[in-house]
Structures are given as C-alpha cells and as structure tokens.
Amino acid sequence: MAGKAAAKIITEGKNYRRYKDGDATPGTWGEVIFQAGWSHKCPTYILRTPPCSASCPSGHDIRGWLDIIRGIEKPAAGVVWQEYAFRRMAESNPFPAIMGRVCPAPCEQGCNRNAVEEHVGINSVEHFIGDWAIENNVAFAKPESETGRRIAVIGGGPAGLAAAYFLRRRGHAVTLFEANAQLGGFMRYGIPEYRAPRAKLDAEIQRILDLGVTVKTNCRIGRDVSFAEIDRDFDAAFWGVGTHSGRGLPVPGWKGTPNCVAGISFLKAFNEGRLQAVTGRIIVVGGGDTSIDVASVARRLGHIESVSSQDRVEHIILGDTAHDVAGTVQRQGCHAVLTSLFPVNQMFAAKREIDDATREGVEIMGGVMPLEVLKGPDGRATGLKMCHCKMDGQNPVPVGGSEFVLEADLIVSAIGQTGDIEDLPELDNGRGFINADRSMRIPGKTKHFVGGDVVRPHLLTTAVGHGRIAAASIDDFLGGHDVGKRPKVDVHQFNLLNKLREANLEPEPYPGAGVRGTAEAKFAIHNFDDRASAEVIPQDGLFLGHFTENPRRHRGEHHIDAEVVIGNFEERLIPLTEADVVNEAKRCMSCGLCFECDNCVVFCPQTAVQRVAKKERTVGRYVYTEYSKCVGCHICYDVCPTGYIQMGMGE
C-alpha cells in the first residue's frame, strides 16, 4: 500500500479500510510514521529482564524484591514486606543469608545504576532479608500434593541442597546422600565461619530439610551405594558432588612432598576443627578467593614454634590426627605469603577480600610464578623457587633472570580443584568433571542430571542456579515434556499474570477459537508484551536523566589489624539497618518494569496516558493509553525512566 494513500484513509473519519481499490504498490512505513503532529506509533508496555538478574548465576528476580522493599509491589493482606521479599528471593535461591555475605555479586557489576554513580548494594539488602527470615522463623510452605516420584540427590552442597529444595516444592520425594558428616558442602567445609556464620548456614539448610527431605550422611555413592543402585531405585538423580580434590602445583618437587597440600584440604581441616595452628612460614599459591581464605585463616591461627612429628600440619590436614587445643595456646604471628600469576590489581579474588587480607598481615605478591619446590635432606619442602612473569592471556611468561626463593614450612596450592569421582567411572568425563547439556542433563544418561563445580568450577550462586535448572528439567522429564528447551535469559522472571491472580484481577477465561480480541475484551492483558525471557534492557534503553545522585549505603565492617588478628574469628560484615535497606532499595531503577513515577502521565500533551483505576491496579498495570487520544508523539517513551514504554505500530 502506498504510504500517502494510507495516510489519507486513516484520516477519513470512520473509513477503516486499510487498502483502497487500485492500491497495488507497496510503500515504506517510513513515509507515514511521522505526519506533523501525529504518527502511526503508539505506546506499548514491554517487560524486559534487568541486567542485575541477567548477571546473577542463580537467577534472582532482584528488581522484584527491591520493588517489594521500596513499597512499589505490595504484599497480600497480613504479610509483612520483609517476608514477601524473602519469599520472592527464595523463588530462585534459598540461601539469602549466606549468599548475601559471600557472593562476589556479579549482579552489582551489571547494575545499570553504575551509569549514574554506584551500583545498588544488592548483596547488603539480601543479607538483611536473609537474617530477618531466620530471626523470625520463616518456613517454606510444604508441597500441596505428592507426585509419588523418587529422586536421589547426591551431594549436600549448594547445588544438591538447591535441587532438593526445588524438587520438594514440586512434590517429588527426595533422598539426599552426603559423603561428609554434615551438609553444606563448600559453604561449610570451604569457607571460614567468620565469612559464613554456621548458625545462619544451619538455619537455611534446616529450612530446606523441613520440607520433608530424607538425608543420609557419611554415605559415599560409588563406595557405600553403587551407581547401579541409584539408577535402579530412583526415578531420576541429581549429581552435585562438588570438586573436593585440589590441584597440585605443576612444578618439579611438588608430587609426594609431605608439607605440600591443597587449599581445599587446608580449609576443610580448619572448618572441621582439626587444624588449630600452623608452623612457621606458609606460602599460598593462587590469586582467587580460596587462596585469600587460606592465607587469612593461617594468620588467624598463628604458628607454634615446635611440634612433634606426628603433630605436623600436613598430618592434621590429611586427616591423620587433630591438634591438641591446649598445646596451641602459645601462638605467635604466622608469616603468610600469597602469590599470584596476575598482578594484584588483576587477581580473581574480590577487592574487599584482598584489602582485608593485606590489612591483616598477609603479604601478597602479584606477577610471580612458581618454578620448583625446594627440599631438605628429609624430603620436606624448605622453599619455593619463583620468578617474575608477564601474562599472555591466561598463560604466564617467565621473565629471564628474575628468579628468587621464598622459604617455607608449608606450601599450599590454591589453583583450582577437580571432582573426587574415581568411584564413579560411569560419570567421569576423563578430566575429573561431569559433562552437562544446557538443561543440566548428563549426555547419554536420560534420568541423570548434574550441577555445581563438578560441571564447571565457579561461584556458589552458580551451583544454586544449576540446582534450580536441573530441578525444572527433572520435573519436565518425569512429566514427559521436552527437557531440552530453556529460555534464552534463564532466570526467575516477574510474571504479570501471577501478580494479577494474587490481586484477584485475573483475566476472564478465553471464550474459545474464532473470537477476535478487542479493547473491551476481558480475557487478555492488553498492550503488554513479556520479552523478559529473551531480552535484557541496557543502559541506553533507560531515561537516565530522571535519576539524581543518591549515594549508596555501605555495610560496615570489622577491620582487624595484623597485630590483633590471631584468634580473631569475629564476623566481619555489619548488616544494614532496616531504614538503610529501604533507602538502598529505592536506588533501584527498576530497569524494564514500571515503577510508577508518573512521568508518562504528567508529560503526555494529549492526556492519552492515564492511571489505571486504583481497584484494577497492580505492578506492571499502573498506566494505560487511551488510543483515541494518542497522536504518537513519543514523549511518554522519551521520559520513561525504566524503558518499560516502547512505541509500537498502531492505527
């Protein structure tokens, strides 16, 4: 249809014919989009995923629970906002108290607020809500019905516990197998208590178990129970076995040297209470958070001058014995050196952790690489030969003539881990890991799914996200649905239809095929498009001029000086106050979803954009457009801070 002809027809009163007799030549919409004071484009309301959620490995609906805390989204009658926010968090991650403390928060790096000043303190808000839920004994609702299907979950770390939680919510019976004496995995055995308080961890684990999860601890699959038995006795299985085998240094002299140990073994010995002190000088090779934890723990433990041969640190770490607490009372400062291939400002560890470790007396050396473990006549390591290096991508290039020696009584390798799955040849991909497809299913194993570090070592929240996706995939598998389909943006999404149901505003039933939708129809949500599963809204999709500077509320910290670090295991983070949590939530820009600022209502020159009647209003349905008044001037689109309004074709 020719553009000029189209414009003429549209302005001819009630003549709604799209084509005139004789019109045969197609024109371009560019000719008719703008016609002086009106256009063919009118506002539509588009939901997209904010970059914070898209950056969160567990798939939090961060915008959603921040909108709850700030008062935009209201809870149901009788529910306080703290509980409502907690339950929204738990839709994706059942560990807000722990993750709010230990997660390095990639969500904050993705936050669009960084374009205004500093990101929203997402972790600190999660920390507060997680603690509130524990202090107020908030429990999960048990499943409304049981499916009769039995699922084995192997591994009681973040991936396995998350999978158990999401599977129980769907009504499946879950038996959780754990090789250790207690549940928690790396949250318990890999992170020191001053970073992950055990009372908080225990409470969040117990909340999951109270859903009716059967637990079998001290039970190693492949040794105590065979893979064949799991395959036979359960309808499906989730493998969250973690990576509990540390990688040694790939240098001469490491293998078989008694006082050369893995960082994961060091931390487990400490977290089990067996390791009470170190002896002499310790070198930690790494650069990530695990290496920081090892060095910081060593500084807190301190060293003792003389021990018997059977009480040496390596024997404690390898589980042969345990330190006598009475014998470690007279402890002195431990000399701990942490080395990294990368320069200090490029290390993988969080900057806050690096700063704390330095303050506590850990010497950090960046841009150096190990060359050889040096040994004494007794076969024990006495030092580590090093050199300076430059990085070529991920590969270190030694600097010639820069060799030097660090003396050591204990050398700890914290350069990564692999799965301890020698007893599971059915699953081992030959590299100490387990393969997974996008749905977390093990290729070639129809009823077996996997998640966590044994797939790809990453963050605790990544493991939780794997558990969530695997649980959904197992549910699809058991229901006979297509397991392979996952959304492009695979996170927990705000669901407008569910919100309308919650507010008793659910659309009427669809009357059936053959019915054409109209503006008056009550069986559909009009002028709304949910693109959240496919699109993330960037900074340039927002009207940043709306947002004024509003400084972030930072959590306080207990900083410990090197002189008083020995024996100090006090939690470092100080939670925000309730008032600061609310104010921090108000800094959220609600990217991709209306936050009821009224800009579109105020600035519309035709009064075409209006508020929805209060009794019909809910999140995402705050305004509507009276299209008989709209001239397509784009002003509402231009002034929408969140990018929720997009101009779409209309007539």
Quickly list DSSP for 342-404: S-GGG-SS-HHHHHHHHHTT-EEEESEEEEEEEE-TTS-EEEEEEEEEEEETTEEEEPTT--E
pLDDT at residue 631, rounded to an integer: 87
Task: Find the angle CA(494)-CA(495)-CA(499) to the nearest 5 degrees.
Answer: 105
Task: Find the angle CA(449)-CA(450)-CA(456) to the nearest 5 degrees.
Answer: 150
pLDDT at residue 9, rounded to an integer: 37
Look-up of token digits 């197992």: 474
For residue 404, being part of any structural domain is answered with: yes
Same domain, 266 and 385: yes
| For residue 1, pLDDT beyond 50 | no
Query: What's the pLDDT tens digit per position in 333-354?
Result: 789 999 999 999 999 998 889 9
pLDDT at residue 138, rounded to an integer: 98
For residue 548, being part of any structural domain is answered with: no
Query: What's the pLDDT tens digit per position in 162-185?
Result: 999 999 999 999 999 999 999 999
Same domain, 400 and 459: no
DSSP codes joined into one string, 208-232: HHTTT-EEE-S--BTTTB-HHHHHH
Instruction: Name the more confident of 247 and 306.
Output: 247
44, β-bridge pairs:
646
CA dihedral 409, 337, 262, 462 (to 10 degrees): 170
Q: Tell how far CA 242 is from the center of its chain.
A: 17
Of 116-130, 438-452, 554-568, 588-602, which gets the smallest average pLDDT? Answer: 554-568
Same domain, 232 and 163: yes
Task: Find the angle CA(23)-CA(25)-CA(26) to the nearest 5 degrees.
Answer: 110
pLDDT at residue 4, rounded to an integer: 39
For residue 483, being part of any structural domain is answered with: no
Same domain, 118 and 237: no
Residue 173 in 3-state DSSP? strand
Query: What's the pLDDT tens digit per position in 73-114?
Result: 999 889 999 999 999 999 999 999 999 999 999 999 999 999
Same domain, 427 and 385: no
For residue 485, being part of any structural domain is answered with: no
Of 91-105, 192-206, 291-305, 387-401, which gets the smallest average pLDDT? Answer: 291-305
Give the count of domains, the chain.
5
Average pLDDT score, the chain: 90
Q: What are residue 262's phi and psi, to 5 degrees?
A: -85, 145
pLDDT at residue 257, rounded to an integer: 96
Q: What are 353-357's contacts with CB under 8 Å, separation 24+?
A: 353/289, 353/292, 353/296, 354/292, 356/296, 356/557, 356/559, 356/560, 356/572, 357/292, 357/295, 357/296, 357/299
DSSP 303: B
Structure tokens at 102: 């230990």
Look-up of token digits 């958070």: 289
Same domain, 352 and 298: yes
- The type of residue at 578 is E
* Residue 197 belongs to domain with CATH number: 3.50.50.60
Same domain, 505 and 651: yes
For residue 392, being part of any structural domain is answered with: yes
State how far the alpha carbon of 469 is from the alpha carbons of 218, 438, 491, in Å.
Answer: 27, 9, 9
Whether the CB-CB separation of 247 and 416 falls below 8 Å is answered with yes
pLDDT at residue 308, rounded to an integer: 55
pLDDT at residue 11, rounded to an integer: 40
Sequence-separated (6 or more) residues with CB below 8 Å from residue 423: 220, 221, 222, 223
* Residue 633 belongs to domain with CATH number: 3.30.70
| For residue 64, pLDDT beyond 70 | yes
d(C-alpha 277, C-alpha 540), whole Å: 54
Whether the CB-CB separation of 455 and 436 falls below 8 Å is answered with yes
d(C-alpha 100, C-alpha 75), whole Å: 22
Structure tokens at 179: 């090789």
| For residue 262, pLDDT beyond 50 | yes
Beta strands at 41-47 and 528-530: parallel, antiparallel or unpaired: parallel
Structure tokens at 526: 């009009």
For residue 386, being part of any structural domain is answered with: yes
pLDDT at residue 323, rounded to an integer: 56
> Closest Cα to residue 154, out of 454, 417, 446?
454
Residue 128 in 3-state DSSP? helix
pLDDT at residue 56, rounded to an integer: 97
Whether the CB-CB separation of 460 and 103 falls below 8 Å is answered with yes
| Banded pLDDT at 2 (limits 50, 70, 90) | very low
Domain coverage including residue 117: 55-138+553-586
d(C-alpha 367, C-alpha 389), whole Å: 5
Of 10-24, 40-54, 158-172, which gets the smallest average pLDDT? Answer: 10-24
Across 127-271, the runs of DSSP E, i.e. the strands, are 150-154, 173-177, 214-216, 236-239, 245-246, 260-262
Beta strands at 609-611 and 623-625: parallel, antiparallel or unpaired: antiparallel
d(C-alpha 546, C-alpha 523), whole Å: 35
Same domain, 636 and 497: yes
pTM: 0.90
Look-up of token digits 């007794």: 378
Same domain, 257 and 370: yes
d(C-alpha 51, C-alpha 109), whole Å: 9
d(C-alpha 387, C-alpha 405), whole Å: 8
Beta strands at 573-574 and 609-611: parallel, antiparallel or unpaired: unpaired
Same domain, 557 and 536: no
> Closest Cα to residue 67, out of 594, 504, 647, 600?
594
For residue 484, being part of any structural domain is answered with: no
Structure tokens at 569: 């295991």
Final residue of a domain: which of 394, 415, 436? 415
Same domain, 118 and 176: no
d(C-alpha 592, C-alpha 588), whole Å: 11
**Mean pLDDT value across residues 375-402:** 96
Query: What's the pLDDT tens digit per position in 535-568?
Result: 999 999 999 999 999 999 999 999 999 989 999 9
Whether the CB-CB separation of 58 and 462 falls below 8 Å is answered with yes
| Portion of the chain with pLDDT greater than 90, in percent | 79
Give me the helices (H) in 486-634, please: 496-502, 578-585, 599-603
| For residue 517, pLDDT beyond 80 | no
d(C-alpha 439, C-alpha 172), whole Å: 19
**Mean pLDDT value across residues 526-533:** 92
Beta strands at 556-557 and 573-574: parallel, antiparallel or unpaired: antiparallel
Look-up of token digits 């009716």: 212
**Mean pLDDT value across residues 411-420:** 95
pLDDT at residue 26, rounded to an integer: 60
| For residue 621, pLDDT beyond 80 | yes
**Is the CA virtual torsion 38, 41, 47, 51 positive or negative?**
negative
For residue 558, being part of any structural domain is answered with: yes
pLDDT at residue 513, rounded to an integer: 76
- Within 10 angstroms of residue 332's Cβ, the number of other Cβ atoms is 12
Same domain, 391 and 298: yes
